Each structure stands twice: as C-alpha cells, then as structure tokens.
Amino acid sequence: MRAFNEWILDNDCTPYIVVDAGVQGVQVPTEHVADGQIVLNISQGAVKGLVIGNGALEFSARFGGVPMQVFIPLQAVMAIYARENGEGMVFGSEPGSPDPEDNADGASGQANGQRPSGKPSLKVVK
C-alpha cells in the first residue's frame, strides 16, 4: 500500500482508495458511503497525519467541514489508483487471489455479492 501511494505521488498524481465500508473496524464518514463502499482522496492536501501501517491506514480529514479521524484496516482497501489516469491496483481481484476477510456477521460487505457500477476504471500495474 505504501509503495503504491508513493508511486502515485512520485508521478505527480492524486492517490485515491476504494474502501469496503462493511469490514469490521472501518471508521469512515458513513454519510458518504454508497453501495457499501467509499472512495477517499488520501493526498497530502486532503488529509493530515496519514500513516500507512502494516495492518491499517489512518488519517484525519474534514468531511463537509466536520473533522474526523479515519481508520481503515488494510483488508478493507479494495483498490488504490491515481485519479488522473486510473492506474493503480485492485486488491483481491486476480484469479486465485483471496477475498478480503468477511465481516463478523459473515457478510462480505458487498450487497448481494455485486460490485456497484460507476466505479473508476482501474488498470493493474505489474
């Protein structure tokens, strides 16, 4: 995650992440969640104190003028991509890749197992 974020920033692009808001432990502004997911700009100009650890990422940001501490377990990050060109990585989507951990209630966080439409197009970087 750190490497992709740095690669996007090194290419003068804006890093965005797609988060499965249904994963246990995710703390994001629920009013901005659509179809169980939220897309977040994690650039230096959008967030403060971004820490990408081995198990989670966290930062503080303002949503509608209201400050919030955001906490996202890494298994909830579905993708990271550059806003300008859509290049990045979708996690757990390649054949044979494991799905992110299920929620405590056994649901995967996807409504009826369907991915919502209208997501940005992503390219896998190898």
Helix (H) or strand (E) holding 3: helix 2-10
Say if 116 falls within a structural domain: no
Say if 115 falls within a structural domain: no
> How many domains are there within the chain?
1
Range of the domain at 9: 2-93
| 8-59 tens-digit pLDDT | 999 999 999 999 999 999 999 999 999 999 999 999 999 999 999 999 999 9
What residues have CB less than 8 Å from 50, skipping those under 6 apart?
Answer: 42, 44, 57, 58, 59
What is the domain-level CATH number for residue 26?
A: 2.30.30.220
| 52-79 tens-digit pLDDT | 999 999 999 999 899 999 999 999 999 9
Neighbours of 116 (CB within 10 A): 12
Say if 32 falls within a structural domain: yes
